[in-house]
Structure formats: structure tokens, C-alpha cells
Amino acid sequence: MASPQPSLREIGEVLLGASSIVIASHTRPDGDALGSTIALADTLRELGKTVLAINQDGVPPRYAFLPCATSVHQPSALKDKLGSPLFVSLDTGDPDRLGDQVWKLVTERHSTLVIDHHTSNRGYGEVNYVDSESPATGQIIYELIEAMDWPLTPTARDNLWVAMATDTGSFQYPATTPRTFAIASRLLEAGVDLAWMSAMLFQNHPFRRLELLRELLGTVQRSSDGKVASWKVSRETIKRLAIQPDDNEGLIDQLRSLSGVVVAVSFEEEADATVRISARSKDAKQADVAQICQAFGGGGHRLAAGARIQGTLDTVAERFLAALSQELDHDGTP
């Protein structure tokens, strides 16, 4: 069972007490998962530790620009060269999300440190630092570096910026706090190249993403009250455009950004007659999408959740949108 929350300094001491360390984060890694991993790994290397950063899926092309992105390896790189390292899991609420190869490594070791900000995290390590109020794991890593008075390397600085900028939706989501801006300000003072960083993050998309958007726009549906907007994409289209898993990241905001829309939903046909649903809410009081997705076997956060349902694209969309409109009709708001 998880022990009471340790202090950041205690976490720092755990890290200092290990001579070799493996750091991993969840599969299909995002900016926070990768940014936190690279930043912590670089900091610990600076302190003389032997560190290996791993991710079961490696670094997707979209994040290849991250400083030291090539220092993140796939689990096969581990072999036996590190002996019995301390294992650190970052930004991963559920150990299943580390991927089976990484999880196997964890269960072979005895010491696991978990640092995360997912509310659902039950503390599956020997030591767990879970701060669900933090908008990004990267913000926790920054606080750790500061609490320990460790040097902020240029690599850590840039990667922490990416972690925080992406997980806060460019400092827009409600979990963003004054502290987030204070840290962002310090990272800028320390030399983050904001123009380059923003160009890499937001103006560096492959053309096929625009082709995908063109297809999606042709399928837009809006509920009669205008509160739900959705679109869908078939397996055939995904194949024809050679769409990669990351290509649609953030596109759904085109729907959520509409005036009057409370929930945006994207339906994506997958192999095995399954449809992947992504739902984004603007207002958790009117629509808690985590709850709706849980009813379909999925999960997530109140404003961002998902599920996978068996069925055809049209039948799944119909079922999900019907459940959603019922929820919106009974939201209890005046």
C-alpha cells in the first residue's frame, strides 16, 4: 500500500542514493512524458549518475526536435548493463500504460519511484510522489530541481518548457496556476528560445495532418442545440493518407473552440472493428466526459477522456452521441 506523500527533498534523496537509474514514461508519449523524462535524466547525469531513459514506443517524429531526444531508447537498449538500477516512472497513472516490455523490467527490480500528476494514480511504486494539482509532471520535476538546488541544464530547461506548455494546452487549461507562470518565467530567463520552441511545437506539422483535417471537416455534425460537435474518420482514409498515431493530436480543438459547443467528439475507426472515441469538454459541470467514457469502458480526465468501442463507425457514433445528449439534458444547470 502506498505510504504517505514524501517531500520533494525526500524524493531527491532517493534519487541521490541510487548510482544507476532507469527512467520511463507511458506509451504513445506526449510532450510531458518525454520532456519530464529527458529533463530528469539530464539533470541526474549532470550530478554524476548513470541514467538510461526509455520508452516502449520511442520518440515519435513530432518530438524528435527535443534537445537530447536521441537519449531516449526503447527497452531493448537496457540489457544488463545497469545492474539493479532504481526504476523511475514518470507521468504514468497506471503501470499498464508503461507498456508490457517496460512493466516487465519494473517487476524484475525491487525499487520503483513514481512521480506523476494523474488523479487516478494509486501509487504503484515503493516511493510515490503524486501531485494531482500539478498541471504537468514537468512542473513537479522543476520543483524537485529547485528544492534540491540542482543545476538547471539547458536540456532540462527546454524539455521542461515543452512538458509544461503541452500539458497546459499552451497555458490555457484550468489546472494552470500562478506557479506555472512563475516557473515558465524562470525558464525563459534561463534562456528558452520561445520563438523556436513555439515553431517546433505548433508550426511544424506534416502536410498529411492538413489532409486529415480536410477529410474530418467534411463529416462535421452538430447537435440541434449546438452543444455537441463531432467528426469521424474511416480506416480507409487513415490508410490512404498514411496517417500516423500522433497526426491528429490537437485537431479536436477545432471543434471545441466553437461558440456554444460544450463537448467535442472525434470517432476514429481502428482495425478489429473497433472505434476509438476522443471526447473533450469545455465545462465539467455540464459534461464530465470521463464519466461518460467510463460508461463505455474507457476513462480519462473530466475535460478530456476516451474509449474504445466495438462496432462500425456509424453505429458507435450514434450510440455515443445519444448517451452524450442524455447527459447534457440532465446536467442540472439552470
Residue 267 C-beta: closest distance to Mn ion, Å = 24
Residue 32 CB, nearest distance to Mn ion (Å)? 3
What residue ranges in 55-103 does DSSP mark as E strands? 72-73, 86-90
Give the nearest residue (CB) to Mn ion: 32
Nearer Cβ to Mn ion (137/176): 137
Could you give the C-alpha distances from 105 to 55, 56, 72, 324, in angstroms and in order?
12, 11, 16, 40
Q: Which of 91, 247, 249, 269 binds Mn ion (CB under 5 A)?
A: 91
Any idea how long the chain is? 334
Choose, by CB under 5 A, the member of 42, 167, 249, 288 that binds Mn ion: 167
Instruction: Estimate the crossing angle of helix 8-16 against helix 137-148, to 10 degrees.
Output: 80
CB closer to Mn ion, 31 vs 85: 31
Q: Which amino acid is at 111?
A: S
Q: Which stretch binds Mn ion (CB under 5 A): 13-21, 89-97, 302-310, 314-322?
A: 89-97
Residue 128 one-letter amino acid = N
Cα end-to-end distance, the chain, whole Å: 43
Min dist. Cβ of residue 108 to Mn ion (A): 26
**In angstroms, what is the minimal distance from the CB of 237 to Mn ion?**
29
CB of 91 to Mn ion, least distance (A): 4
Closest contact distance (angstroms) between CB of 304 and Mn ion is: 11
CB-CB contact of 273 with 263 (8 Å)? no
Residue placing its CB nearer to Mn ion in the complex, 137 or 153: 137
Distance, in Å, from the CA atom of 279 to the CA atom of 298, rounded to the nearest integer, reads 11
Measured between alpha carbons, how far is 287 from 283 in angstroms, rounded to an integer?
6
Closest distance of CB 60 from Mn ion, Å: 15
- 266-296 residues labelled b (16+ CB within 10 A) or e (exposed): bbbbeeeeebbbbbbbbeeeebbbbebbeeb
Stretch that binds Mn ion, among 2-10, 30-38, 191-199, 257-265 (CB under 5 A): 30-38
Residues that bind Mn ion (rule: CB under 5 A) add up to a total of 4
If the CB atoms of residues 167 and 249 are measured against Mn ion, the closer one turns out to be 167
* Chosen residue from 8, 18, 25, 32 binding Mn ion by CB under 5 A: 32
Q: Residue 172 is which amino acid?
A: Q
Q: Which is nearer to Mn ion, 42 or 91 (CB)?
A: 91
Which value, to the nearest 10 degrees, does the dihedral of the CA atoms of residues 199, 200, 202, 204 take?
100
Looking at the Cβ atoms of 16 and 304, the one nearer to Mn ion is 304
Q: Which 107-146 residues touch Mn ion, going by CB under 5 A? A: 137
Cα 37 from Cα 24, distance rounded (Å): 7
Percent of the chain that is helix, strand, coil (3-state, to 5):
40, 20, 40
Stretch that binds Mn ion, among 28-36, 81-89, 93-101, 123-131 (CB under 5 A): 28-36
* Interface with Mn ion, residue 249, by CB under 5 A: no
Nearer to Mn ion, 167 or 269 (CB): 167
Give the cell for residue 58.
520511442
What is the pattern of x (binds Mn ion, CB under 5 A) and - over residues 278-297?
Answer: --------------------
Least CB distance to Mn ion at residue 34 (A): 10
Choose one: 53-61, 87-95, 223-231, 307-315; the region binding Mn ion (CB under 5 A).
87-95
Output the smallest distance, CB 295 to Mn ion, in A: 24
What's the grid cell of residue 6? 514524501
Mark 96-106 as b/e (b = at least 16 C-beta within 10 Å): ebbbeebbebb
Chain residues binding Mn ion by CB under 5 A are 32, 91, 137, 167
